[in-house]
Structure 1
Amino acid sequence: MASVISISGLTKTYAGGFQALKGVDLDIRRGEIFALLGPNGAGKTTLISIVCGIVTASSGTVTADGHDVVRDYRAARTRIGLVPQELTTDAFESVWATVSFSRGLFGKPRDDAFLEKLLRDLSLWDKRKSRIMELSGGMKRRVMIAKALSHEPEILFLDEPTAGVDVELRRDMWNLVLGLRDRGVTIILTTHYIEEAEEMADRVGVISKGELIVVEEKSELMKKLGRKELTLNLAEPLAALPPELGEWALTLGADGNELHYEFDANAERTGVPSLLRRMSDLGIGFKDLHTKQSSLEDIFVGLVRQKKDAA
């Protein structure tokens, strides 16, 4: 699939010597939802700010839909919508005036029907005449999203878009995002709600201390790095683990009634059946079993911890 954003050798060093980005290379595919995950201070917002032309890179290149974000800034920026973390709106303007003005900034012709649909999709239509300063925090967040979408961008950045917002807005926004993706809009999001990335994203990138440590299809990442845990409720308690089961690195519950087996998801087909056969050969029965698979959050935490340990 063609790349809509290409990032090559991107670095950023702030005054004082802090290196926020260290040689980042990344291609984002047209029409995908890409989740960029990382702890606070990892470089997520710096990366987004450089692509959007807010921050100047120390070195490296970025193109958006084939346009260099420095040499051809206007064309590149026209294709990008940004919903930043901070609520930066024109407090004394009405919702309608703010969103209309934002559309005009990008040279788009007036289209009241489009803006009405956008405000209705974000449950803002009834507030269109209200001044921004009169709105709740959640409504202000909706206005930020409407501003970012007002000029019909092909690429949408969402930087922690649901931080501190209500459940209703979160649901409305993700429904809108899925609709945009269906229309071919590329969406790049950062979020602390990793379950959102797990549910929404096509691919996941993890950044730590300014370096991309993994970029992978979400399903493949969970397949490669996910762990599973099998719990067997035994028919009869065991006083100790039989040595014949030693190759599976099992743990026995405190009361002897449960066996726990943690394994790589890739080993499921070979590890679990052979374990159950060996147990049967030894006359060890079980009443019930269940498995638990690691979530994207578990994988993320593990990757960041590995990066810290290696530093």
Structure 2
Amino acid sequence: MEASIAGPDASSAPDASGAFSALAGALHAELQRHCYRMMGGLQDAEDCVQETLLRGWREFAGLRDGSAGRSWLYSIATRVCLDALRTRRRRQALFGPSLDEAEPGSEPWVEPWPGGVPPSGPERDRDIRLAFVSLLHGLSPRARAVLLLHDGVGMTAAEAASALGLSVAAARSALQRARTALPPQDAVAADAPAVEAYVEAWNAGDVDALIGLLHRDIVLTMPPWHRTFTGREAVARFMTSVWPRYDGFRAVAVIANGQPAAAVYASRGTGFHLPHSLHVLAGRGEIAEIVLYAPPLGASLFAAFGLPPTA
């Protein structure tokens, strides 16, 4: 447990302190992923987790059923996220979007998540793919919350309603709307040979080889910017126009949202290759989709992925 969790009465309740520390430690990583699904951003998710642990520590003495600790802490986390989203909407209404937020009315976008979910344990079947999380952010916050508590945490509609202060009818309605709005996901993560070839093309500075890896109907998006390139020819024109601006590239394979991705470093006459962009890849055999987090957003993600500042 982090030091910031400790409450003013920790010394008077050592057993409760130890029990809460164990609960918080066991759930910290999955709460981060839950808050990420709710918020769509790495720092926002971590801020919500910290607030969740503070609230949880203050309220832990009132938890009567120790076996319900997991769902109880998830309920707090979800309410914290909803509060944060309401605050964000009020701020946007007053001041407009900040530079790191999408413009009102634009398509939802989310930051990539470093890594994936554990292959075993309570999270093993939970979806964290980028396309799924992006679709979640097309839902209302309430519908998103009910869906994640019901389908992800395993709460009944009645339990989710109680956790969020809703009527059971409202929770069921939100759940139905969420399921109707989420179409089946058919995106296939890029396979290992395609990712290896993609990384090698960047490292070799071979734009023709890179273009040769792309599916004819490839879609390249660059969140949060309003730029989408559809089809190999359009992507090729974009890549060949950008490529000469740099002296060279270095790329490494990483995992984002449980999917293969490439972190690309670029050099511009300095002799150093600095963080440039993060590319989340999909497609079997050929690359059929690239979600490219471009500068300055792409570079800011490298530390979150544990990548070195130069390559």
Common fold: TM-score over 0.5: no
Larger C-alpha radius of gyration, 1 or 2? 1
The higher-RCO structure (CA 8 Å, 6+ apart) is 1
Q: Normalized per residue, which structure has more strand?
A: 1
User: Of Structure 1 and Structure 2, which has the larger fraction of its residues in helix?
Assistant: 2
TM-score (norm 2): 0.26
